Structure 1
Amino acid sequence: MAVNLTPNAIAAINEGDVNSKPLLQVLEVKVFGTNSGNRQERCRLVLSDGVSTQHAMLATQLNDRVKAGSIRRGSIIQLIEYICSNIQNRKIIVVLNLETIIPDCQIIGNPRTLTESNSTANTTASTASAYQNPEHLRATGNIMNARSSSLDVQSSRPTVQAPGQIKTNSMQSYHPMVQPPYQPPPNYRGHGAIIKNEAPAHIVPIAALNPYQGRWAIKARVTLKGDLRRYNNARGDGKVFSFDLLDSDGGEIRVTCFNAVVDRFYDIIEVGKVYVISKGSLKPAQKNFNHLNNAWEIFLEAISTVDLCPDEDASIPKQQFSFRSINEIEFAENNAILDVIGIVISVNPSTPILRKNGMETLRRILNLKDESGWSVELTMWGDFCNREGQKLQDMLDSGLSPVLAVKAGKVSDFSGKSIGTISATQLFINPDFPEAHRLRRWFDSGGRNTASQSISREVTPGGPKNEIRKLVSQIKDEGLGRSDRPDWVTIKATVVFIKTDNFCYTACPLMIGDRQCNKKVTKSGDTRWQCDRCNQKFEECDYRYLLQVQIQDHTGLTWVTAFQESAEEMLGCSAKELYFLRYEEEDDARFSEIIKASLFKQYLFRLKIKEELYGDEQRLKIAVVKADRVDYAAESRHLVDLVARKNQL
Structure 2
Amino acid sequence: MDESGEIRATAFNAAAVDFYDRLQDGKVYLISKAKVGLAKKKFSNVNNEYELTLERNTEVEECADATDVPAMKFNFVSIGNLQDVAKDSTIDVIGVVKEVGELSSITSKATSKVIPKRELTIVDRSGFSVRLTLWGKQAEQYDSTDQPVIAFKGAKVGDFQGRSLSMMSSSTMHVDPDIPEAHALRGWYDAAPSDQKFQSHTGSMPSGGGVAFDRAEIRNLNDVKVSELGMYDKPDYFSARATVMHIKSDNISYPACPTQGCVSDYSGQAWFQGFNDVGQLLFGMSADELVDIKVREASPELDRSASISTSIGDVTRGHQRAQERDDVRYNQVMERTIGTTYNFACRARQDTYNDQTRVRYGISRIMPLNYREEAKYLANLLLTSEWAR
Length-normalised TM-score, structure 1: 0.35
Letter in structure 1 aligned against 2:2: D
Correspondent of 2:186 among 433, 440, 450: 440
- Would the aligned equivalents of 1:356 and 1:510 in 2 still touch at CA under 8 Å? no
- Would the aligned equivalents of 2:160 and 2:236 in 1 still touch at CA under 8 Å? no
Residues 126-161 of structure 1: CA distance to partner in whole angstroms, max 9, x if unpaired?
xxxxxxxxxxxxxxxxxxxxxxxxxxxxxxxxxxxx
Aligned pairs for 1:83-122 within 5 A: none
Compared CA separation, residues 302 and 329, structure 1 to 2 (3 A): closer
How far off its partner does 1:262 sit?
Answer: 5.3
- Counterpart Cα distance in 2 of 1:532 and 1:461: 27
Letter in structure 2 aligned against 1:403: V
1:402 lines up with 2:148 in the alignment: yes
Name the structure 2 match of 1:339.
Answer: 92
1:544 lines up with 2:265 in the alignment: no
- Counterpart Cα distance in 2 of 1:510 and 1:323: 28
Letter in structure 2 aligned against 1:343: V
Name the structure 1 match of 2:253.
Answer: none
* Count of residue pairs the alignment pairs up: 267
Name the structure 2 match of 1:309.
Answer: 63
- Would the aligned equivalents of 2:44 and 2:90 in 1 still touch at CA under 8 Å? no
Name the structure 1 match of 2:51.
Answer: 297
Correspondent of 1:323 among 49, 61, 76: 76
- Counterpart Cα distance in 2 of 1:536 and 1:359: 27
- Would the aligned equivalents of 1:256 and 1:297 in 2 still touch at CA under 8 Å? no
Name the structure 1 match of 2:38.
Answer: 284
- Would the aligned equivalents of 2:43 and 2:89 in 1 still touch at CA under 8 Å? no
Aligned pairs for 1:43-192 within 5 A: none
How far off its partner does 1:291 sit?
Answer: 4.1
Residues 494-522 of structure 1: CA distance to partner in whole angstroms, max 9, x if unpaired?
xxxxxxxxxxxxx9898433345788998
- Would the aligned equivalents of 1:368 and 1:378 in 2 still touch at CA under 8 Å? yes
Aligned pairs for 1:637-648 within 5 A: none
Compared CA separation, residues 263 and 335, structure 1 to 2 (3 A): closer
Aligned pairs for 1:218-233 within 5 A: none
How far off its partner does 1:352 sit?
Answer: 2.8
1:253 lines up with 2:8 in the alignment: yes
Structure 2, unmatched stretches of 5+, are: 216-223, 247-260, 298-364, 375-389
How far off its partner does 1:349 sit?
Answer: 1.9
- Counterpart Cα distance in 2 of 1:293 and 1:255: 16
- Would the aligned equivalents of 2:262 and 2:272 in 1 still touch at CA under 8 Å? no
- Would the aligned equivalents of 1:342 and 1:405 in 2 still touch at CA under 8 Å? yes
Compared CA separation, residues 366 and 588, structure 1 to 2 (3 A): farther
- Would the aligned equivalents of 2:117 and 2:133 in 1 still touch at CA under 8 Å? yes
Letter in structure 1 aligned against 2:233: D
Letter in structure 1 aligned against 2:171: T
- Counterpart Cα distance in 2 of 1:294 and 1:386: 32
Aligned pairs for 1:312-461 within 5 A: 312-317=66-71, 319-357=72-110, 358-388=112-142, 391-392=143-144, 395=145, 400-456=146-202, 459-460=203-204
Q: Equivalent residue of 2:189, what SS?
A: helix
- Counterpart Cα distance in 2 of 1:543 and 1:281: 45
Q: Equivalent residue of 1:548, what SS?
A: helix
How far off its partner does 1:545 sit?
Answer: 2.2
How far off its partner does 1:419 sit?
Answer: 1.0
- Would the aligned equivalents of 1:350 and 1:362 in 2 still touch at CA under 8 Å? yes
Compared CA separation, residues 518 and 248, structure 1 to 2 (3 A): closer
- Counterpart Cα distance in 2 of 1:615 and 1:422: 37
- Counterpart Cα distance in 2 of 1:384 and 1:543: 37
Name the structure 2 match of 1:147.
Answer: none
How far off its partner does 1:402 sit?
Answer: 1.9
- Counterpart Cα distance in 2 of 1:355 and 1:522: 31
Percent of aligned pairs with the same amino acid: 28
Compared CA separation, residues 290 and 451, structure 1 to 2 (3 A): closer
- Counterpart Cα distance in 2 of 1:315 and 1:618: 51
- Counterpart Cα distance in 1 of 2:56 and 2:114: 37
Residues 268-323 of structure 1: CA distance to partner in whole angstroms, max 9, x if unpaired?
32221111222333223344444433332323456543222122321522x21111
- Would the aligned equivalents of 1:378 and 1:418 in 2 still touch at CA under 8 Å? yes
Letter in structure 1 aligned against 2:105: P
- Counterpart Cα distance in 2 of 1:381 and 1:368: 16
How far off its partner does 1:413 sit?
Answer: 2.1
How far off its partner does 1:326 sit?
Answer: 1.0
Letter in structure 2 aligned against 1:545: G
Compared CA separation, residues 376 and 267, structure 1 to 2 (3 A): closer
Aligned pairs for 1:507-526 within 5 A: 511-516=230-235
- Counterpart Cα distance in 2 of 1:294 and 1:325: 22
How far off its partner does 1:617 sit?
Answer: 2.4
Compared CA separation, residues 265 and 548, structure 1 to 2 (3 A): closer
- Counterpart Cα distance in 2 of 1:441 and 1:331: 27
How far off its partner does 1:442 sit?
Answer: 0.8
- Counterpart Cα distance in 2 of 1:294 and 1:613: 40
- Counterpart Cα distance in 1 of 2:51 and 2:10: 6
How far off its partner does 1:411 sit?
Answer: 0.9
- Would the aligned equivalents of 1:356 and 1:511 in 2 still touch at CA under 8 Å? no
Compared CA separation, residues 298 and 402, structure 1 to 2 (3 A): closer
Compared CA separation, residues 560 and 344, structure 1 to 2 (3 A): farther
Letter in structure 1 aligned against 2:153: K
How far off its partner does 1:587 sit?
Answer: 5.3
Length-normalised TM-score, structure 2: 0.55
- Would the aligned equivalents of 1:334 and 1:412 in 2 still touch at CA under 8 Å? yes
Compared CA separation, residues 359 and 544, structure 1 to 2 (3 A): farther
Name the structure 2 match of 1:272.
Answer: 26
Structure 1, unmatched stretches of 5+, are: 1-245, 464-480, 485-506, 524-528, 551-558, 562-570, 572-577, 590-609, 620-649
Choose 1 or 2 for highest CA Rg: 1
How far off its partner does 1:455 sit?
Answer: 1.2
Compared CA separation, residues 374 and 547, structure 1 to 2 (3 A): same
- Counterpart Cα distance in 1 of 2:156 and 2:368: 25
Letter in structure 2 aligned against 1:253: R
- Would the aligned equivalents of 2:125 and 2:185 in 1 still touch at CA under 8 Å? yes
